[in-house]
Amino acid sequence: MSNPSLLENGVSHKRTALKVHGAALASLSFQGLGIIYSDIGTSPLYVLNGIWPSSGPVPSKEDVIGGISAIIWSLTLLPLIKYVLISLMFGTTQGEGGSFALYQGLYPPEDESDGDRTLTGESYIKSSKSTSSRLKEVLRAPLLVWCLLGTALTMADGVFTPAVSVTSAVGGIAVAKSSIEAQIVPISIALLVVLFLAQQFGTGRLAFAFAPIAFLWFLLLIGTGIYNITTYPGIFRALDPSRAVLLFVRTRNYDLLAGILLALTGCEAVFANLGQFNAASIRISFCCFVYPGLVLAYLGQGARLIVDGENVIQNAFYKSIPGSENGPLFWIVYAVAILATFVASQALITATFSLFQQVVNMKSFPSIRMHYTSETIMGQVYIPAVNWTLMIITVIIVAVFSNLTNLTNAYGFAVATVMFSTSLLLAVQMVYVKRWPILIAISYFLTFGFFDGLFWGAALKKVPHGAWVPLMIGLILMIFMVFWTWSKGLEDAFDGANRQNLRHFIWREDKIPIGKVKDSQEIVEQVEEEEEVSEPTYYYLPTQSFSSKDEGLEIEKRELTRIPTMAIFHKFTVSRGVPHTFVGFIRQWPALPQVLVFLSVSMLPIARVAPDDRYVIVKTRSLEGCYGVTYNIGFREHFDVNVDELVESLCNLEMQQNPNKCEQTIAKIKAVSSHATHIVPHYHVVSRKIDAGYLTFMANWVRQYLIEEIYRRLTTMFPETANWMTSAEEIIHVGINATI
């Protein structure tokens, strides 16, 4: 249990960024090769043919040098400088990176964890907002939409990475066995089906092999690259950035950027995986191994393309492998390439699961069922509905996009949009989180936004040639997530607006006022000052009893029987007052559980919450056995209220507050905890009428259809309790009509 004093100081729910040194840092750098760099590391399989398709003419020597120069300097400007050197500075104070961490860092949830004040509805004064804060609030909705679009396109990336990587790797078999060329698509589909079928067993058993496979893959890239460079050392002219500029001046072919963009696929993982590793390990592995390996690989491919263009253009990667096309080195590289693309695909599929977990936790997506495949690593999650959907879409895409060029066109669009999204969020972070001068933020965005915009524009031109697929998938997902966020926000606002002060309708027998009542709040203050009594009797008093205008007070009291059980009333949001599920419960069943817990869920802007900081508990003074609990959860964690852990936290609190007289209370808590019942609201949502001028009828019709026909049905199909590690028999749903 967290110490409330620590929470008040703002540190109880935080953890620091991962810090390691020496051998541990070297080990972490090695592990990152498979998790972080498997996607960008397999790009040499298809980049050169993405720039110069095998069906097109052989490029000239100067064009090849210019193309390789553009690849190298793109890798230098974006993955190296933008992500490794700059973006890693902008992880959260807890060491997290990625789009959701950036947004959560900008707009962390309000912390209202004082359980007693929360349940009794006492107010506090908020400081006035500055002009910059008001501007930040204006930007909240657009930035959320932008973040959701980037997230949706990253999810679409989870479809195209397996499709492009596996198909490109399998395509190498046609180099050695041309008779099997027609079987590339069926073989790729079969491998992809096996990959998705294996997801239900979890990635933990395969993860240990990720880094060694990636390490071996990069060694092969370095070795073959160095050998190929010796065939034409003049390829080092590509290190001159002017060669890249002259390529576009000479050819005036803007579309070449769409192919060069493929060399950058996976660079977003450098920032997104910051929380699993740390900035130092990511920088070491990229600067010392990945970046040199990729540069040597592309230089080598370019050299072979210049020396043997007619042959190499058919498949720039496999045709540039030293030795015979059916020799031992070829088959070694081919086997490792298949394994490397499996690693890259696995990493993106796992990342897609994690993204869906995050949007569900942020209430931007329905609560679809999740399975956690590791007892120790919360990030290892398997989502059946997402897995089978990904498999079906991926298989269809591979079958339809039999032309690898069109498939890579579709792949690049999602990558470019996500990179541009990150640049915008980072620029806003510089101003509002880092508190840097706005000129620095503008300079950063203009510089890297310019390069991101160039690639995005080139990818946008490919929309008619295949890029419309990830755009369509991303827009559908984004629109749905925006709709769900809006609807869930209306429901939460209704929930917050209909709270009641616990002290206004539950009274102890010796505290019930007699005579004229002027103000209910005045009574509450008088009650608080009186001494506690043992074994008190409580009554339910409707709040309307205090609005009587008569000289005397007619109180309709109902005695509340204490029942030997533990009830956990879920509030879902951190807001003042008790949930009206509790009020409805008391009205229908005039009884009070022996242990009463009002539990709020607080999503923190960190990926994981330390076990000691999981529950923040404050005992409510006005009702014996009543506790206000804030359940802290990271945005990458699943919802799991462990009753045993909660009971332990309650007992620890009692020992801290009353060490000499806590034995009886602790015994009572433990005695009834075996009969814990979760009580949650089930909202029957109804659309309220709005005034939209001349469009009032149409606006109300659309609003009613969205809320009552779509949102209401989906909340029934996907309840928030879907992923609870609790038996359905222990959950009571209290129906509530909610006009939102």
Across the strands, what pairs with 619? 627
Cα 630 → chain centroid: 22
Task: For residues 429-449, give the mean pLDDT.
Answer: 93
Is residue 717 pLDDT above 80, yes or no?
yes
Q: Where in 411-537 does DSSP place strands (E)?
A: 506-508
Is residue 267 pLDDT above 60, yes or no?
yes
In 530-572, which ranges are continuous DSSP H helix?
none
What confidence score (pLDDT) does residue 203 get?
A: 56
Task: For residues 250-269, give the mean pLDDT.
Answer: 90
What confidence score (pLDDT) does residue 345 get?
A: 86
| Per-residue pLDDT band at 225 (split at 50, 70, 90) | very high
Residue by residue, what is the 3-state secondary structure of 275-306? CCCCHHHHHHHHHHHHHHHHHHHHHHHHHHHH
What confidence score (pLDDT) does residue 376 get?
A: 46
CB 543 within 8 A of CB 574: no
What confidence score (pLDDT) does residue 372 get?
A: 67
* Cβ partners under 8 Å of residue 6, min gap 6: 12
Q: Are strands 676-686 and 558-570 parallel, antiparallel or unpaired?
A: parallel
Task: For residues 475-496, give the mean pLDDT.
Answer: 91
What confidence score (pLDDT) does residue 275 get?
A: 65
Is residue 550 pLDDT above 50, yes or no?
no
Q: Which of 117-131, 143-157, 421-435, 712-726 has the lowest mean pLDDT?
A: 117-131
Is residue 440 pLDDT above 50, yes or no?
yes
Is residue 554 pLDDT above 60, yes or no?
no
* Cβ partners under 8 Å of residue 106, min gap 6: 136, 143, 425, 428, 429, 432, 433
**In Å, what is the CA distance from 635 to each residue of 386, 604, 638?**
18, 6, 8
**Angle, helix 328-361 to helix 210-229, in steps of 10 degrees:** 130
What confidence score (pLDDT) does residue 126 get?
A: 42
Task: For residues 104-124, give the mean pLDDT.
Answer: 59
What confidence score (pLDDT) does residue 659 get?
A: 83
Look up residue 656 and give its two tokens.
């801290």
| Per-residue pLDDT band at 528 (split at 50, 70, 90) | very low
Sequence ranges of the domains in the chain: 4-14+42-107+131-490, 556-739
Which long-range CB contacts under 8 A does 216-220 form with residues at least 24 apart? 216/336, 217/41, 217/42, 217/336, 217/337, 217/339, 217/340, 218/33, 218/37, 218/41, 218/289, 218/290, 218/293, 219/293, 220/332, 220/333, 220/336
CA distance 600 to 370: 21
What confidence score (pLDDT) does residue 521 get?
A: 43
Task: For residues 282-306, give the mean pLDDT.
Answer: 95
Residue type, 660: N
3-state SS assignment for residue 19: coil
Over the stretch 268-284, which tens digit does the pLDDT of each residue have?
A: 888 877 766 778 888 99
Over the stretch 600-644, which tens digit does the pLDDT of each residue have?
A: 888 776 767 888 888 888 888 778 889 988 888 876 677 777 888
What confidence score (pLDDT) does residue 732 get?
A: 83
What confidence score (pLDDT) does residue 358 get?
A: 79
Summary mean pLDDT of the chain = 81
Task: For residues 574-595, give the mean pLDDT.
Answer: 81
CA distance 709 to 2: 42
Is residue 534 pLDDT above 60, yes or no?
no
- Residue 477 phi/psi, 5° resolution? -65, -45
Is residue 23 pLDDT above 90, yes or no?
no
Over the stretch 46-83, which tens digit does the pLDDT of each residue have?
A: 999 989 988 889 999 999 999 999 999 999 999 999 99
Is residue 111 pLDDT above 70, yes or no?
no
Assigned architecture for domain 4-14+42-107+131-490:
Up-down Bundle (1.20)
Is residue 482 pLDDT above 50, yes or no?
yes
What confidence score (pLDDT) does residue 241 get?
A: 95
Residue 392 CB: number of other CB atoms within 10 A? 12
Across the strands, what pairs with 596? 567, 626
**Largest Cα–Cα distance of the chain, in whole Å?**
105
Over the stretch 33-46, which tens digit does the pLDDT of each residue have?
A: 888 898 899 999 99
Is residue 683 pLDDT above 60, yes or no?
yes
Is residue 11 pLDDT above 50, yes or no?
no
**In Å, what is the CA distance from 311 to each residue of 320, 514, 614?**
9, 100, 61
